[in-house]
Amino acid sequence: MATETDWYQELLEVERELMARAPESAPQPSLDRVRALADLMGGTHQAYPVVHLTGTNGKTTTSRITEAVLRAHGLKTGGFTSPHLQSLVERVTIDGRPLSAERFVQTYRRARPYLDEVDRTQPIIMSYFEAFMGVVFAALADAKIDVGIIEVGLGGAWDATNIVDSAVSVITPIDLDHQKFLGSTRAEIAREKAGIIKPGSTVVIARQVDEVRPVLTERIEQVGATAYWEDRDFAVLSRTATDAGQTLRVRTPSGAVFDGLELPLHGAHQAQNTAVALAAAEALLAPRQPLDPERVRAGIAAASSPGRLEVVGSHPLTVIDAAHNPAGAHTTAQGLVDAFPGVRFTGVVAILADKDVKGILTELEPVLEQIVVTTNSSPRALPADQLTTLATSIFGPDRVHTEPTLERAIDLARHQLSTPDGGILITGSIVTAGEARTILT
């Protein structure tokens, strides 16, 4: 009988097979392949209602909070977020818990003949992400969930998740990222992401910059969707930072006001994510079931978002954040000041070469006393010596240190550079955040 270790080894083999396909960082703009796979497997993408989320930043946390609130209301939930921090299976959850290695491997084995069939009959073989989503849709259908909360992989219109006919779509803040694939301006990126808004559906929209709003409005009018906009239709009415996170008061589109929400996450942006999540949950449940105040409080209190201003150590204070674009780094910097006033942070930073490295460093500079530049295991990582050159141009030579590995960089920051009133921020990439969690947790 196979043990948990055996299944984990099988999972690694499955991951190697998937990784042999075109990477998720190089999408092929077509829904034909993933739709063909899902249809061959019995229309698994149509087996449950879906809350579908896109945006540039905040998607994963908003997904997790939405899932926690719906689960607290008695729904069996299935979740998908992307990418993962440490393990492939953490992308897929059933009732808030990662899919087991055994279940993932078994679902992949069942999908494999259909994958081969699609590869044979389509002009281009399925990519890593398309094949992965075929397994995800089947795993969620097998679990007989009541609702799927599904985050896009990249963009929206041509993302492999977009074969779902979502009842509710969510647009978190849109900014510049993945310009090579999505467009060079915020408006172009918004047009791609607006593609997840389905005819006759409800869309919940986080606060957006002026450049984005008309693009989203055009799509909403085109497909006859009902839109709820942050600040106009729902809002964070008040928030108070606490040691454990923050206490919130939130108004939803129905006009309901929820007081005393104890959110165990730091930063004003997480309060906004909570408001978006509550609006999405309300939209899905209405009109059958209004949000229940006690269940909302329970769901918010149970929410988690690893790698997002996550405290993983106290002596010194050590925080991990997955910020990987300038807008995300700006939010992280604001969150540090808000959640940890008076703490002098040393940064440990590793960034992927295809990101706006200067933009990220510029946003982090005001909140970091010193920076230790390093690299992570991704083949896309910017080498530490090149990152040092860029960091020195922004921080000055006296504030920049270099270590060749993430573990040594963390060790330097924690044991030699930290002060009694200081803290450590480890950031720059989702890969960096995940590897730091492996080292420290």
Please identify, among 268, 302, 336, the residue that sits at the C-terminal boundary of a domain: 302
According to the model, what pLDDT value does residue 181 have? 81
Strands 400-402 vs 422-427: parallel, antiparallel or unpaired: unpaired
User: DSSP alpha helices (H): ranges in 79-178?
Assistant: 101-121, 128-142
Q: Quick one: 184 and 236 in the same domain?
A: yes
Give the predicted TM-score (pTM) of the model. Answer: 0.96
- Cα atoms in the 13 Å half-sphere on the side-chain side of 323: 32
Q: Quick one: 159 and 205 in the same domain?
A: yes
Sequence-distant (6+) residues with CB within 8 A of 255 are none
Question: What mean pLDDT do residues 158-166 have?
Answer: 97
Place of tokens 């540090």: 336
Is 409 within 8 Å of 374 (Cβ atoms)?
yes
Place of tokens 């606490």: 242
CA distance 27 to 178: 11
* Tens of pLDDT, residues 239-298: 999 999 999 999 999 999 999 999 999 999 999 999 999 999 999 998 889 999 999 999
Mean residue pLDDT across the chain:
96
Task: State the residue range of the domain holding 131.
Answer: 4-302
* Tens of pLDDT, residues 171-216: 999 998 888 888 999 999 999 999 999 999 999 999 999 999 999 9
Q: Quick one: 386 and 255 in the same domain?
A: no
Lowest-confidence region among 44-58, 115-129, 295-309, 414-428: 414-428
Question: What mean pLDDT do residues 343-366 have?
Answer: 97
Q: Quick one: 194 and 319 in the same domain?
A: no
Q: Quick one: 146 and 170 in the same domain?
A: yes
Which CATH number belongs to the domain containing residue 75 in this structure? Answer: 3.40.1190.10
Rounded to a whole number of angstroms, the CA Rg of the chain reads 21
Place of tokens 């930290």: 418
Place of tokens 């269940």: 295
Sequence-distant (6+) residues with CB within 8 A of 86 are 434, 437, 438
Is 132 within 8 Å of 152 (Cβ atoms)?
no
Is 24 within 8 Å of 181 (Cβ atoms)?
no
Q: Is the pLDDT of residue 1 over 90?
A: no
In the chain, the percentage of residues whose pLDDT exceeds 70 is 100
Q: Quick one: 160 and 279 in the same domain?
A: yes
Residue type, 441: T
Q: Quick one: 281 and 332 in the same domain?
A: no
Let me know if 181 is exposed, middle or buried by CB neighbors in 10 A (0-12, 13-18, 19+): middle
Q: How confident is the model at residue 326 (pLDDT cuts 50, 70, 90)?
A: very high
Q: Quick one: 88 and 198 in the same domain?
A: yes
Domain count, the chain: 2
Q: Quick one: 291 and 314 in the same domain?
A: no
CA distance 11 to 32: 27
Q: Quick one: 393 and 433 in the same domain?
A: yes
Please identify, among 276, 302, 328, the residue that sits at the C-terminal boundary of a domain: 302
Place of tokens 């009842």: 167
CA distance 166 to 217: 18
Which CATH number belongs to the domain containing residue 378 in this structure? Answer: 3.90.190.20
Place of tokens 């006690």: 294
CA distance 441 to 437: 5
CA distance 157 to 248: 34
Q: How confident is the model at residue 346 (pLDDT cuts 50, 70, 90)?
A: very high
**Closest Cα partner for 284 from 140, 168, 162?**
168
Strands 77-80 vs 422-427: parallel, antiparallel or unpaired: unpaired
* Tens of pLDDT, residues 307-317: 999 999 998 99
Q: Quick one: 262 and 401 in the same domain?
A: no
Q: Quick one: 294 and 361 in the same domain?
A: no
Please identify, among 271, 302, 333, the residue that sits at the C-terminal boundary of a domain: 302
According to the model, what pLDDT value does residue 277 have? 98
According to the model, what pLDDT value does residue 375 have? 98
According to the model, what pLDDT value does residue 420 have? 82
Q: Is the pLDDT of residue 418 over 80?
A: no
Is 323 within 8 Å of 427 (Cβ atoms)?
yes
Q: How confident is the model at residue 24 (pLDDT cuts 50, 70, 90)?
A: confident
According to the model, what pLDDT value does residue 415 have? 83
In the chain, the percentage of residues whose pLDDT exceeds 90 is 93
Q: How confident is the model at residue 20 (pLDDT cuts 50, 70, 90)?
A: very high
CA distance 95 to 117: 32
Sequence-distant (6+) residues with CB within 8 A of 43 are none
According to the model, what pLDDT value does residue 217 have? 98
